[in-house]
Chains A and B, each alone.
Chain A
Amino acid sequence: MTLRLLINTSLVISLLLCASVGFAQDNLNESESQSESSSTFFDSEDRQRFFAMTIGGHKPFTSGDNFMGEGLRGKSGIDFKVQMYVYKHFFIGLATGSSYFDVKNQELLGSYRTSRIAENYVYLGYEFLPAENFRLGLNIAVDGDLNYKNSGFSTSDIAEQHDSARLNRYGLYLHYELAKHFMIYFDYAYNVSKTNIDAPSQLEDFFRKGKYSTIGIGLVFTIGSRDLISRFLN
């Protein structure tokens, strides 16, 4: 089972789970939230959530002296994530998305015009509460893979070639709460793609790693008001 299939399956299961579990707990949480509780930079019972689902878009920017920095130009991208708060504001998440690039130098990569990277990864992180209505999250991908679909060959539109890679990703986001369970987000992520490309020895360094950053914006929907472990402890 590929990571992509695993993540997609998990996303569907997560949605079903959060719909059933999250809503079931909501009545209880509503009454709990009426009691006074303290809120700090690191924790707030009032602002605790169980699941957060994000959907949004991003702009990728390539960088560095590598095949992505020298050969690709970022166009756009889409993101879909589900994260579950395991204990307080520690969370684990599953993400799937795509980034779209134009080839700006075919002499360095091969004779294709566009590249679409399918991104699938599992991430861990922590969410801080710097101010009322704001949430600041840091996350890191613990397992991820990338699939580059290269297409746009001069003689035909139906030809494609694929490259694969492992993903290292370091992210930062800011949520602004518009309502209790509805927010907008801005995020930044630094991505390092460790490719499986076989290349001549003099080009190995050039193709071994690709680097790109993303700046994104989107919507966040949350469900539930207690983290996973608290649900079992209390």
Chain B
Amino acid sequence: MKLLIRFFLSCCVLLTVVSCEVHLEDDTRVLVEGTIIDQNNSPVSNAKISVQTRRSSYSEGENQYVLGEGYSNSDGAFSVISLYDGDEDFAIEIDGGDKYSTYVYKTNTINYTPTDLTFDLETVSLKKTATFNYNMVKTSGESNTLRYSFKYVEGFCLEYYEGATLNEYQSSCYQERVIGQLLNDNNPDNEWSFRLPLGEVIEFTYSINDEPEITELITINQDSYDFTFTY
């Protein structure tokens, strides 16, 4: 009887291992094409295009799978051959690297297959980005506090399409973000950085010892902008 149970358990384990495999869509290839330009209408070369899907498995949970990858050429044009998959969040990501913003095209491919198996993104516009490095330093005496925030436009654009129609509700393109913190004796200093489109203005608001807020505008006019604030 024990032998029978062991045999049964072994079969169950084997079946579990076999069922862990993730099967992507068979016998299909798609083409992803388009042209990438920046805000000055200049072509963006060497941008990385990756076609992605998400799948769940028993052993690894939900994972992102890259189905196809390629790069834009010197004219900014790209043409990537990729596998295909039915997914609610089938995504095509265009990553301009450190110098440009990121664009993501998303759609639901469970109910939608593009015409002629081709995703023609036409012209994708990326923005040149800069890195804003800030450093908040406490130089005054004890018990002083600083409450601050940065309001800026992020260097990221996601467009969600339902078929050929843009769903603006689920899209978020170059949205405003706010980050902030309270600094005090326990946490006197902070150093951080974020990326945003070059030429954008950051709204820096601060308040020392809960006094009325002061707002300063910082125009980002260089690739790497260092900002230090002492209180």
Contact = CB atoms under 8 A, between A and B. Distances in A.
B117 interface: yes
A207 B29 CA distance: 9
A71 B148 CA distance: 54
A153 B65 contact: yes
A165 B20 CA distance: 26
B24 A161 contact: yes
B118 interface: yes
Interface in A174-201: 195-201
Contacts of B116: 200-201
B163 to A, nearest CB: 18
B126 to A, nearest CB: 21
Nearest to A159: B22
Contacts, number: 92
A158 B21 contact: yes
A198 B27 contact: yes
Contacts of B24: 159-161
B22 A200 contact: no
Nearest to B80: A107
Residue in A111, A150, A160 whose Cβ sees the most chain B Cβ within 10 Å: A111
A154 B69 CA distance: 11
A197 B60 contact: no
A98 interface: no
Contacts of A198: 27-29, 117
Interface in B80-124: 80-83, 116-118
A51 interface: no
B62 to A, nearest CB: 11
Interface residues of A, number: 29
A64 interface: no
Nearest to B115: A200
A109 interface: yes
Given A153-B66, A200-B116, A200-B118, A110 B29 contact: yes
A203 B31 contact: yes
A105 to B, nearest CB: 10
Interface SS of B by simple majority: strand
B68 interface: yes
B211 interface: no
A150 B26 CA distance: 10
B129 to A, nearest CB: 25
A40 interface: no
Interface string B17-44: 0001111111111110000000000000
B70 to A, nearest CB: 5
Residue in B27, B51, B60 whose Cβ sees the most chain A Cβ within 10 Å: B27
B222 interface: no
B66 A158 contact: no
Contact of B28 (A156, A158, A197, A202): A197
Contact of B83 (A112, A154, A164, A200): A112
Contacts of B23: 159-162
A163 interface: yes
Interface of A: 106-112, 150, 153-156, 158-164, 195-203, 207
Interface of B: 20-31, 50-51, 55, 57, 59-60, 63-70, 80-83, 116-118
Q: 8 closest pairs, A vs B, by CB? A: A110-B83, A161-B24, A159-B22, A200-B31, A199-B29, A162-B26, A200-B117, A111-B66
